[in-house]
Structure 1
Amino acid sequence: MAMPETFEQFARPSHDGSSGNEGDNQSDFGISEEERKKRIRVLKMKAKKVSGKVKNSFKKKSRTRNDHGSSIPVDDDWEKEVVEAVSTFREVLIMENLLPRKHDDYHELLRFLKARKFDIEKAKKMWVNMLQWRQDFGTDTIMEDFDFRERNEMLQCYPQGYHGVDKAGRPIYIERLGKLNVDKLLEVTTLDRYIKYHVQEFEKSLTIRFPACTKAAQRHIDSSLTILDVEGVVLKNLTKPMREFIMELQKIDNDIYPETLGQMFIINAGPGFRLLWNVLKPFIDPYTASKIHVLDNSYRSKLLEVINGSELPEFLGGSCSCAKDGGCLRADKGPWRDQSLS
């Protein structure tokens, strides 16, 4: 769906540049504290009304499948209500000094609203927690400050990486969980450093990969397609430390980078993994679960429905080898790299 003109207008910054402080420059200094509190009360009432409208609309409107695998209402009224919801959410955050310039982006605000089913108060709580977490973790400078020099050694015991784009223009992330060797991983790095690397890669996606894919596809891209290869994963390998490690990464993804998963294909899922999936699926949000496809070793045709063979590594049934770059999972192939080399 093309972004309406109002989306583009909203995405432009509306700052007057009067202050260099990202947290303070959005306050209205010309009003009293009493007036500010009054405006916040009015905004909260408006937010509650708008949230109700969008959620009711979401339930009532007819749905269709789009070409990216998600189910969305296709209705002009729905679009207007979504724009209104994001605008109101933005007003609430500005009034409460919760919208730094770095995060004043229509699509980022929309992702948090989607994650909380357009409940503006719940989305605000999630937003506040995100800002605090980023400050505590040092996320804003992690791309410059953190050097994961052990990356090559890590990839030998935990193969993963971004490689190419799908037919919708989204970056493809591939992870071979079945080849994870936790003991060897801990010989070359620590869990804390790996988590920093994980966050750093997400930041690269937000600031480099998604914008490059957006430019290449000429449509907004802010989600990825994930291929999770679980060949060799059995229940006995999922030790408590490993489960806790995976859950911590999952929590970061869900809480700090919500709605960035476009689709996931879990491949080479044997009976043991399918049993585990059947246990876990009821605890996963139905909308998120609808994006996840669990396949056995006959996955190639399904992947080729959404990914061109030239963008798929040979070990997944495609035609790419990235031989000059030491293999596909080391190449970081994609529009983001093409643009940096041009």
Structure 2
Amino acid sequence: MVCRQRKCGCSKDDEYKHKSDPENLEENMKSGVLRKAKNVSSKFRSSLRNKIKRKNDTGICNIEDMHEIQDHKAVDAFRQALVMDSLLPTRFDDYHVMLRFLKARKFNINKAKIMWANMLEWRKNFGADTIMEDFNFKELNEVQQYYPHGYHGVDKDGRPVYIERLGMIDVDMLLQVTNVDRFVKYQVQEFEKSLAIRFPACSVAANKHIDTSTTILDVQGLNLMSLTGPVVEFIKVVQKVDNDNYPETLSRMFIINAGPGFRMIWNVVKPILDPETTSKIQVLGSNYQRKLLEVIDGSELPEFFGGCCTCAIEGGCLRSDKGPWKDQNLLKMTPTAEVHHVQTASISDNDGT
């Protein structure tokens, strides 16, 4: 920890010499002031550092939260526009939520406001606010048997990892145990769990704000013949719900085991996707393990993807929902409210602190 007298970057011995050498005192003071001014100016131009204090029964958790100055100003303007039109419920008065919608509309406030208003209307009609309590997806175990998927662990940045083995989907059997409407409700419930539980727990565990995830999409065996009507319908519906109401929650995606069949599909799909979305996606063949292990520790990666985790007690990795969100002590340290508007900001004196 650097004391107030040494914020200019001097060591303790240098500080003693400064105090004991009158001839150098004035010069060193000027140098220190100039360095400090330069550091503050540089930091102010690039970002604001917020410390969100979250009180709980065990103490206070401080989460470092960096805000880019340009983003901070845009969010402030967007927030004022929402307040003016009575479009800002307390639960959504959150810096990062508003920033995600701005990013989704290239920081066009009017377009972001329309998207935001549509989201609020959709939530009301769909029942998203209470779906975590109201909806019971009792067929989950059977669904996972015919469509393996789930959250499992975190990447090296602390983000939750979501896995889908799309190439192993059995559409006929899947439609015997559920239907598209119920599956979409289940997906919305999972989105809500990520916002309310997974992201906050990961933020506490990593000591920084986290609101995006890493996705691994295993497409081994997938080809044009696999994309039957129900599969395409499901993908379209879930994608629209995600894009319209939970924008900018994907950090990166790895599409693995991409053979010639999938690459034909990808060549058709890629041109119609947003360039910013495709920039987050890496399409990999069967030699994907090294790339995954660069961003996900082996202990967090399932054995079937080249890691060393099996979650044998839980019945397999994709049934375990392994992650910081399963730690009851961490959950106690997450905020009791679902979202928080960050109202205070301070400027760090040193770029590295």
Query: What is the TM-score normalised by the length of structure 1?
Result: 0.77
Residue identity matched to 2:113: K
Residue identity matched to 1:98: L
Q: Does the CA contact (< 8 Å) of 2:48 and 2:69 recur in 1? A: no
Among 286, 290, 299, the alignment partner of 2:275 is 286
Other-structure match for 1:277: 266
Other-structure match for 1:304: 293
Residue identity matched to 2:216: I
Could you say which structure has the greater relative contact order, defined with CA pairs below 8 angstroms and 6 or more residues apart? 2
CA-based RMSD: 2.1
Residue identity matched to 2:254: F
Taking the TM superposition and a 5 Å limit, the aligned residue runs for 1:211-226 are 211-226=200-215
Query: What is the TM-score normalised by the length of structure 2?
Result: 0.75
Among 122, 131, 135, the alignment partner of 1:133 is 122
1:165 partnered with 2:154? yes
Q: Does the CA contact (< 8 Å) of 1:7 and 1:83 recur in 2? A: no
Q: String of CA shifts for 1:87-143, please: whole Å, max 9, x gaps.
A: 010001011100001111000000000000100000001101100111000000000
Q: 1:170 to 1:3 in 2, by over 3 A?
A: farther
Residue identity matched to 1:257: Y
Aligned partners of 2:250, 2:89: CA distance in 1, in Å? 24
Aligned partners of 1:317, 1:143: CA distance in 2, in Å? 33
Structure 1 residue 3: deviation in Å? 7.0
Other-structure match for 2:240: 251
Taking the TM superposition and a 5 Å limit, the aligned residue runs for 1:95-244 are 95-244=84-233
Structure 1 residue 339: deviation in Å? 2.9
Q: String of CA shifts for 1:3-57, please: whole Å, max 9, x gaps.
A: 7246859x9xxxxxxxxxxxxxxxxxxxxxxxxxxxxxxxxxxxxxxxxxxxxxx
SS at match of 2:282: strand
1:338 partnered with 2:327? yes
Residue identity matched to 1:190: N
Structure exhibiting the larger radius of gyration computed from Cα positions: 2
Other-structure match for 1:263: 252
SS at match of 1:89: helix
Taking the TM superposition and a 5 Å limit, the aligned residue runs for 1:80-99 are 80-99=69-88
Residue identity matched to 1:4: L
Q: String of CA shifts for 1:212-263, please: whole Å, max 9, x gaps.
A: 0000000110000000000111101112332121111111111110000000
- Percent identity, aligned pairs only, is 63
Q: Does the CA contact (< 8 Å) of 2:310 and 2:317 recur in 1? A: yes
- Count of residues paired in the alignment: 276
Other-structure match for 1:63: none
SS at match of 1:265: strand
Aligned partners of 2:166, 2:305: CA distance in 1, in Å? 14
Structure 1 residue 182: deviation in Å? 1.2
Structure 2 residues not aligned, in runs of 5+: 1-42, 55-65, 332-353
Structure 1 residue 79: deviation in Å? 2.4
Aligned partners of 1:5, 1:250: CA distance in 2, in Å? 33
